């Protein structure tokens, strides 16, 4: 067995990105011109190995929750286990709960990998995250391969955390809004109402929000007036959904690009393009890139 993978720092020009492979294959920080554009992993959370304190973690082999910890696919019922107590349902798959291996590392590029064999969970998969830092920003290419013996439904995504600074605004376009049910589960999709629409940019909601936006165009813009910077998120078309988590009692919020709709595995829409589930035969792969590009406000 190899040793614990050490933290990495990738840098190009004014952009510096920290990685903590041993804590869920996560990003620990994203700093541009001395400004933290994501919530920074604290020393205490780093010491404790707390993945819920990182700046961004991967969601594989699916994104978000599975109701009842089970789903039906190909005439079989597949069972998963709760993985984020005190929650009683499986959240974001298994990738964020394991240390990742450093497959390659340089000054401005690194690739992390993870291999999971079916056992506690029904999935066998190989996942990689290829990080590239440049003057334009941070690019993360996620690749997921089914290494199991049968076809299975997959999904993936990224879960960044941002500081809820005064005056922060969010802008993105989507067509559907998934209602929230108990236990943070996604319910029925509805047509996007004006008061839920961020197409023209608006402050974060004053109340609770934990909802999937479907029909996402693949771009989202965050502006942080307090620090004079913004962040443009651009994702490949495979990322059809954007999850927004904003609790007004917390000093952070989340804007999560993901391929599958939250709760999609319990709706059985395996061939529904809107649900975004990716069925992979043994040996098949899916890939997609998310770019996070900082900019100066007023530039």
pLDDT tens digits, one per residue of 102-139: 999 999 999 999 999 998 889 999 999 999 999 999 99
Q: Are 139 and 291 in contact (CB under 8 A)?
A: yes
β partners of residue 159: 57
What's the pLDDT at 6?
A: 81
Q: Are 154 and 94 in contact (CB under 8 A)?
A: no
Confidence tier at 269 by pLDDT (50, 70, 90): confident
φ, ψ at 85 (rounded to 5°):
-60, 145
β partners of residue 177: 190, 213
Q: Which residues contact 299 (CB under 8 A, 6 or more apart)?
A: none
Is residue 290 predicted with pLDDT exceeding 60? yes
What's the pLDDT at 4?
A: 64
Confidence tier at 299 by pLDDT (50, 70, 90): low
Mean pLDDT of the 143-151 span:
98
Torsion of CA 104, 108, 139, 22, to 10 degrees: 50
Q: What percent of the chain has pLDDT over 70?
A: 98
Confidence tier at 3 by pLDDT (50, 70, 90): low
Is residue 283 predicted with pLDDT exceeding 80? yes
Block residue for tokens 């100066």? 296
CA distances from 166 to 48, 163, 220 (A): 29, 9, 19
Is residue 1 predicted with pLDDT exceeding 50? no
Confidence tier at 2 by pLDDT (50, 70, 90): very low
Block residue for tokens 């406000």? 297
- CA of residue 122 relative to chain centroid, distance: 21
Mean pLDDT of the 169-188 span:
92
Q: What percent of the chain has pLDDT over 90?
A: 92
CA distances from 191 to 20, 213, 240 (A): 39, 10, 16
Q: Specify the pairing of strand 152-154 against strand 219-224.
A: unpaired
Mean pLDDT of the 228-246 span:
97
Please tell me the distance from the alpha carbon of residue 212 to that of residue 72, in angstroms, as a whole number: 22
Please tell me the distance from the alpha carbon of residue 159 to that of residue 51, in angstroms, as a whole number: 11
HEC-encoded secondary structure of the chain: CCCCCCCEEEEECCEEEEEECCCCCEEEEEEECCEECCCCCCHHHHHHCCHHHCCEEEEECCCCEEHHHEEEECCEEEECCCCCCCCCCEECECHHHCCCEEEEECCCEEEEEEEECCCCCCCCEEEEEEEEEECCEEEEEEEEEECCCCCEEECCEEEEEEECCCCCEEEECCCEEEEECHHHCEEEEEECCHHHCCCCCEECCCCCEEEEEECCCCEEEEEECCCCEEEEEEECCCCCEEEEEECCCCCEEEEEEECCCCCHHHCCCCCCCCCCCEEECCCCEEEEEEEEEEEECCC
What's the pLDDT at 279?
A: 97
φ, ψ at 118 (rounded to 5°):
-55, 140
Average pLDDT over the chain, rounded to whole?
Answer: 95
């Amino acid at each position: 067995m190899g040793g614990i993978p050490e933290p990495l720092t990738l840098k190009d020009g004014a952009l510096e990105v920290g990685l903590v492979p041993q804590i869920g294959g996560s990003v620990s920080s994203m700093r541009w011109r001395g400004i933290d554009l994501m919530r920074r992993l604290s020393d205490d959370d780093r010491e404790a190995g707390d993945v819920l304190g990182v700046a961004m973690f991967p969601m594989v082999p699916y994104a978000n929750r599975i109701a009842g910890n089970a789903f039906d696919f190909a005439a079989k019922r597949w069972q998963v286990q709760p993985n984020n107590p005190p929650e009683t349902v499986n959240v974001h798959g298994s990738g964020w709960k394991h240390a990742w291996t450093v497959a390659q590392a340089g000054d401005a590029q690194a690739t992390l990998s993870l291999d999971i064999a079916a056992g506690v969970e029904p999935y066998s998969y190989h996942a990689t995250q290829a990080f590239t830092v440049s003057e334009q920003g941070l690019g993360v290419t996620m690749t997921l391969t089914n290494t199991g013996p049968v076809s299975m439904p997959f999904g993936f995504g990224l879960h960044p955390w941002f500081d809820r600074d005064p005056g922060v605004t969010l802008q993105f376009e989507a067509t559907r809004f998934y209602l929230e049910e108990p236990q943070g589960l996604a319910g029925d999709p509805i047509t996007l109402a004006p008061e839920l629409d961020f197409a023209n940019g608006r402050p974060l909601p004053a109340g609770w929000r934990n909802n999937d936006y479907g029909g996402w165009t693949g771009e989202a813009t965050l502006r942080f007036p307090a620090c004079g910077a913004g962040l443009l998120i651009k994702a490949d078309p495979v990322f059809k959904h954007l999850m927004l988590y904003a609790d007004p009692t917390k000093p952070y919020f989340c804007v999560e690009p993901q391929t599958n709709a939250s709760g999609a595995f319990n709706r059985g829409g395996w061939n529904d393009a809107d649900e975004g589930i990716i069925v992979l035969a043994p040996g098949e792969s899916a890939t997609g890139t998310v770019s996070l590009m900082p900019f100066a406000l007023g530039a």
